[in-house]
């Protein structure tokens, strides 16, 4: 039985009294493993090395758990604890800073501190006070949505109270020890508790997810990455054997050159509404701003941040399944989402369940997916880069003459000018041939320098989720002039964001601005690539990852209020009512600094 389902089986079949006793045992000092999860889209060797290193103990020995199973795709990603270089966000992190000692933990197979889990469970029950997001409304005393005659008005009030995001919002993930602003915790995403949840991610901390969303109460489908029919059948069998209530893994097609199921997506089904969440975060606590605890208290500041798009869709009033066999009746957002679910092989009843909700308020957003493969099928003109171009066009954001692009990416592929030109053209909603040769002067790529990672709250041990291959960067074709140091506006945090900010004006001078929030890093694996043939023509587009994201335009009323001169593009503050930009723009050029190379740190880290 694989590492994942051994852990799950243990969690749901061990005696409750024994579990509580274990959770109250004194902690035994030990050195934590380094944080070395690799989210790279382009380098499988980096992924294998990173996961293998994450299973080493403090002496550099391989953990007794099966490394091969972890590498094969069970995706039991957990970060362990943070580096001893940690510093509170109110102080600059430096070698001379006074920092608390590295925390020692008694951990289970997934690196879970059981005593901390019990404290956190009590906290979720209201035993401790939590500071809420400014627009967050707890749902402690909601009535069940019973359909008694004469109570329709009360039920409608309940539904409206639960639907916190009917118009769509973009929020930063919460970060421990930082002031709350326009952010959100995972338990707030799951509030109220959904009846059914479809969750998609590359890396998972299963016990942590189940602590937030107990399968005894919520039916769950986890869309996971597992390549090969043999491995998929093996994991399905183990899930059945584990007898976890209301739980089923799902594996999208991973044939041929498909590399990762990298999309992050949540479909949270309630009686009266569907919550759609498109985050950049995996299902791991550190990516949602949580850190290790001791005696129920977390003293470490957060180490990573992400961004999420959320929207609540009401159930259709007519009670019917909408647009079954008639997808053209849906908004473009809805059509693209349904197409993505069907391409992943999602069961018909799950797809029909999505169609029971009203997508009309998604008309102002674009759902952009990447369906992997060589694009000769029905997806050729509306997935990957072409999907971005199509979304921009359908939202009326195309025909752009001048565009400024700022792209924050957690991992970078083997970037070339030709690929960036294709992406720039897609963002403008125009063909590549219409883009001028100076487009790189208007394209900035945000990725942390080596110094930034080492001075972050978690230090280099937290840098395994941020990847760039040195050979890619040193290639003469790599666009170094576009590189900017990624500095979070919450000092000390590293970014796992995949965030593209676009500001420009059309040929007629009309300003445009929009943001992409999702799972796609800046790589050909995520967006697709076209190889130049011997004839000089471009070959067929090929995508290697499953990805998804949302295009969120700045409202026209905000753009019309700008007093721009001829040729000016909207300023960066134009996004202030749409999202909280999490990094400094325009950013510091690299100069003589070097980007963070995780593999260098991995290969030079001392072995005790």
Positions marked catalytic: 262, 496
Report residue 327: phi and psi, to 5°: -65, -20
* Residue of 155, 36, 2, 28 lying closest to 458 (CA atoms): 36
Rounded to whole angstroms, the Cα distance separating 418 from 530 reads 9
Percent composition of the chain: helix, strand, coil (DSSP 3-state, to 5): 30, 20, 50
8 Å CB contact between 279 and 311: no
Contacts of 321 (CB under 8 A, 6+ apart): 352, 355, 356
Contacts of 523 (CB under 8 A, 6+ apart): 41, 42, 409, 411, 412, 413, 414, 415
Rounded to whole angstroms, the Cα distance separating 598 from 487 reads 18
Q: What sections of 295-383 are H helices per DSSP?
A: 332-343, 348-354
Q: Which two tokens stand for residue 279?
A: 């985050």
8 Å CB contact between 300 and 86: yes
Rounded to whole angstroms, the Cα distance separating 505 from 229 reads 48
Contacts of 47 (CB under 8 A, 6+ apart): 38, 40, 71
Our CA angle for 300, 11, 247, nearest 5°, is 105
User: What is the secondary structure of 276-307 as a DSSP string?
Assistant: EEEES--BSGGGGT----BTTB--SPP-EE-E
Q: Which residue has the tokens 């169609």?
A: 355
HSE, CB side, 13 Å, CA atoms: give it for residue 206.
27
User: What is the secondary structure of 154-209 as a DSSP string?
Assistant: HHHHHHHHH-S-TT-EEEEEP-TTS--SSEE-HHHHT-SPPSEEEEE-SSB-HHHH
Q: Which two tokens stand for residue 298?
A: 């977390």
Rounded to whole angstroms, the Cα distance separating 214 from 220 reads 9
Counting every residue, how long is the chain?
A: 608
What is the C-alpha R_g of the chain? 24
Q: Can you count the helices (H) and strands (E) in the chain?
A: 18, 21
Rounded to whole angstroms, the Cα distance separating 93 from 494 reads 12
Q: Determine the 3-state secondary structure of 410 from DSSP.
A: coil
8 Å CB contact between 199 and 283: yes
Rounded to whole angstroms, the Cα distance separating 551 from 400 reads 16
Rounded to whole angstroms, the Cα distance separating 112 from 118 reads 11
Across-strand partners of 294? Answer: 297
8 Å CB contact between 276 and 267: yes
| Residue ranges of the binding site | 264, 498
Rounded to whole angstroms, the Cα distance separating 113 from 105 reads 6
| Residue ranges of the binding site for substrate | 264, 498
């Amino acid at each position: 039985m694989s590492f994942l389902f051994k852990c799950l089986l243990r969690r749901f079949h061990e005696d409750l009294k024994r579990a509580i006793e274990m959770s109250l045992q004194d902690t035994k000092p030990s050195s934590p493993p380094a944080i070395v999860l690799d989210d790279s889209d382009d380098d499988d060797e980096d992924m294998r090395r990173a996961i293998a290193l994450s299973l080493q103990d403090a002496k550099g020995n391989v953990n007794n758990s099966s490394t091969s199973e972890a590498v094969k795709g069970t995706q039991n990603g957990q970060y362990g604890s943070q580096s001893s270089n940690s510093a509170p966000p109110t102080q600059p992190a430096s070698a001379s800073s006074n920092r608390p000692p590295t925390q020692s933990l008694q951990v289970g197979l997934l690196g879970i501190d059981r005593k901390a889990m019990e404290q956190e469970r009590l906290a979720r029950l209201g035993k401790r006070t939590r500071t809420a997001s400014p627009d967050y409304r707890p749902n402690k005393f909601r009535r069940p949505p019973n359909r008694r005659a004469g109570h329709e008005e009360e039920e409608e009030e309940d539904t409206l109270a639960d639907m916190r995001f009917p118009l769509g919002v973009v929020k930063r993930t919460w970060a421990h020890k930082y002031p709350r602003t326009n952010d959100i915790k995972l338990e707030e995403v799951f509030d109220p508790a959904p009846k059914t949840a479809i969750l998609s991610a590359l890396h998972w901390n299963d016990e942590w997810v189940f602590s937030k969303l107990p399968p005894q109460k919520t039916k769950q489908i986890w869309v996971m990455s597992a390549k090969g029919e043999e491995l998929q059948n093996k994991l399905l069998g183990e899930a059945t054997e584990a007898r976890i209530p209301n739980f089923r893994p799902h594996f999208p097609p991973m044939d041929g050159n498909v590399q990762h199921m990298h999309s992050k997506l949540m479909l949270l089904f309630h009686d009266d509404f569907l919550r759609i969440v498109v985050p950049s975060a995996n299902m791991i606590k550190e990516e949602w701003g949580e850190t290790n605890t001791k005696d129920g208290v977390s003293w470490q500041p957060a180490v990573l941040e992400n961004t999420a798009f959320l929207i609540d869709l009401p159930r259709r009033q007519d009670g019917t399944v909408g647009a079954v066999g008639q997808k053209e009746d849906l908004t473009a957002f809805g059509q693209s989402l349904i197409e993505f679910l069907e391409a992943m092989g999602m069961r018909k009843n799950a797809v029909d369940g999505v169609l029971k909700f009203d997508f009309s308020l998604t008309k102002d957003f674009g759902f952009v997916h990447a369906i992997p493969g060589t694009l000769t099928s029905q997806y050729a003109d509306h997935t990957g880069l072409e999907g971005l171009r199509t979304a921009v066009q359908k939202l009326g954001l195309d025909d752009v003459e001048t565009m400024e692009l700022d792209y924050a990416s957690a991992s970078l592929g083997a970037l070339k000018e030709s690929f960036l030109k294709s992406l720039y053209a897609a963002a403008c909603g125009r063909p590549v041939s219409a883009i001028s040769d100076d487009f790189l002067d208007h394209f900035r790529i945000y990725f942390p320098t080596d110094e930034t990672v080492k001075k972050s709250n978690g230090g280099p041990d937290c840098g395994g989720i941020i990847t760039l291959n040195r050979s890619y960067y040193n290639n003469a074709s790599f666009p170094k002039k576009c590189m900017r140091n990624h500095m979070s506006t919450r000092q000390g945090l590293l970014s796992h964001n995949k965030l593209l900010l676009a500001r420009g004006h059309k040929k007629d001078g009309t300003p445009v601005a929009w943001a992409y929030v999702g799972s796609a890093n800046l790589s050909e694996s995520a967006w697709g690539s076209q190889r130049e043939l011997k004839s000089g023509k471009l070959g067929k587009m090929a995508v290697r990852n499953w990805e998804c994201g949302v295009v969120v335009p700045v409202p026209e009323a905000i753009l019309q209020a700008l007093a721009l001169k001829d040729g000016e593009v909207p300023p960066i503050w134009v996004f202030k009512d749409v999202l909280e930009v999490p990094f400094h723009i325009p950013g510091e050029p690299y100069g003589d600094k070097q980007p963070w190379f995780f593999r260098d740190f991995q290969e030079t880290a001392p072995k005790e």
